Amino acid sequence: MDLHILDHKLRVTSITKTGLQQYTHPLIKLIFLRNRTRCKFFSLTETPENYTVVLDEEGFKELQPSEHLQVEGSTWLPLNVVSNGNASSSSQAVGVTKIAKSVIAPLAEQHVSVFMLSTYQTDFILVREKDLSVVVETLLEEFNIFREEGGESVPVHSQDACNGLQRNGREGPHATVHPVLIPENQFCVMSLDPDTLPAIATTLIDVLFYSNSPKEGASVDQDMECIKFFSFSLIDGYISLVMDTEAQRQFPADLLFTSSSGELWRMVRIGGQPLGFDECGIVAQISQPLADSDISAYYISTFSFDHALVKYDLIGRFSQHSVYFHDVM
């Protein structure tokens, strides 16, 4: 298999619920006015706490500093696994499970933090730019590694990694057991032809910016049956949407599409308190049991918490195999 280091330098940010109004215009520009921005990698995810925005340097210029904007200090690089010339995609019904043992677990063993972003089309593994040499050295035996530069795929060799594994300088990951919440929502992972984006503009704006969301600082406790979660990604011209079935009903059924089986997903929300960005192995702790049980899953990290999406009819198998599961359904 091939591993591609994509030609994007990304920032991970968070916008408060109370500060969203200040950023509505630049976010609408990034979503709908592709010809007026040079942003090629954009992802917006709403959770009960905040909005997580992951975007490249061009898109980041659109977000003005304010008390409502938090920015993680690192530059992140997206990695993508390619098999037989095609990106590892949701149509193969494996998602993050496919890369749990070959990518996620080895990076966790080398104390590399990852930020996951699964989309309808593929799975992006974000790593800090400063950790790239460790990533290359760790994965070079398993993958042919290429770096995308100006539209060309340039092979990466071991000697290209100027820092060895012993220079990571981090302590090993601690086996922190994070509480897990499984809300009752049923979720859909969908896509959309970018040319038809204007046809759903009104609905999308309403869902993202004007829907009844929990108030700022609202907690998600174990008694909450459903949580607010909506994710929109526009990456290199491909659109991915993750929403619950209640939000889905607001969109025209003939414009959004999913896999032929039309499966529904349940969410596994990881973390009782904000997870931060420095703890290593969180994704591996969740994805490893999924891989061992051959359970398909998407995985979306946000500024505060992580979220795995497991097929609706398999959520029971996940709870049986994961020591991190707490019965809050």
Q: How confident is residue 278, by pLDDT bands cut at 50, 70 and 90?
A: confident
The reported pLDDT for the residue numbered 211 is 76
129, 76 contact by CB (below 8 A): yes
Task: State whether residue 307 is helix, strand or coil.
Answer: strand
Rounded alpha-carbon distances, angstroms, from residue 279 to 49, 166, 178, 190, 225: 20, 18, 12, 30, 28
Three-state secondary structure string covering 116-154:
EEECCCCEEEEEEHHHHHHHHHHHCCCCEEEEEECCEEE
Compute the average pLDDT of residues 233-238: 96
**Distance between CA 215 and CA 155 in Å, rounded?**
48
The reported pLDDT for the residue numbered 10 is 98
Helical (H) or strand (E) element with 278: none
232, 31 contact by CB (below 8 A): yes
**Distance between CA 279 and CA 115 in Å, rounded?**
11
**Structure confidence by residue, pLDDT tens digits, 25-63:** 999 999 999 888 899 999 999 999 999 999 999 999 999
DSSP string for residues in 181-216:
E--S--EEEEEE-GGGGGGGHHHHHIIIIIS--PPT
The reported pLDDT for the residue numbered 295 is 84
- Nearest partner of 4 among 150, 106, 156, 162, judged by Cα: 156
What is the phi-psi region of residue 250: left when phi exceeds 0, alpha when psi lies from -120 to 50, beta otherwise? alpha
The reported pLDDT for the residue numbered 198 is 93
The reported pLDDT for the residue numbered 264 is 92
DSSP code for 172: P
All domains in the chain, ordered by first residue: 1-157+170-211+225-328 (3.30.2130.10)
| Res. 215: pLDDT tops 80 | no
**Distance between CA 163 and CA 83 in Å, rounded?**
28
| Res. 234: pLDDT tops 60 | yes
The reported pLDDT for the residue numbered 276 is 85
DSSP string for residues in 283-304:
HHHHHHHHHHTT--EEEEE-SS
Residue with the larger pLDDT of the pair 117 and 177:
117
| Res. 100: pLDDT tops 60 | yes
Compute the average pLDDT of residues 171-185: 76
Compute the average pLDDT of residues 174-183: 80
pTM over 0.85: yes
Ranking 204-213, 247-256, 296-305 by mean pLDDT, the lowest is: 204-213
**Distance between CA 286 and CA 307 in Å, rounded?**
10
Compute the average pLDDT of residues 68-72: 98
First to last CA, the chain: 38
| Res. 105: pLDDT tops 80 | yes
**Structure confidence by residue, pLDDT tens digits, 129-164:** 999 999 999 999 999 999 999 889 999 987 665 544
| Res. 216: pLDDT tops 80 | no
| Res. 170: pLDDT tops 70 | no
Compute the average pLDDT of residues 109-130: 95
The reported pLDDT for the residue numbered 275 is 85
Provide the pairing of β-strand 144-149 with 2-5: parallel
Average confidence score pLDDT of the chain = 85
- Scored b (16 or more CB within 10 A) or e, 121-159 reads bbbbbbbbeebbbbbbbbbbeebebbbeeeeebeebeee
The reported pLDDT for the residue numbered 160 is 61
Compute the average pLDDT of residues 293-303: 90
| Res. 253: pLDDT tops 90 | no
- Percent of the chain clearing pLDDT 90 (strictly above): 62
Task: State whether residue 45 is helix, strand or coil.
Answer: strand
Rounded alpha-carbon distances, angstroms, from residue 222 to 72, 132, 192, 207, 323: 28, 38, 34, 25, 17
Compute the average pLDDT of residues 256-263: 76
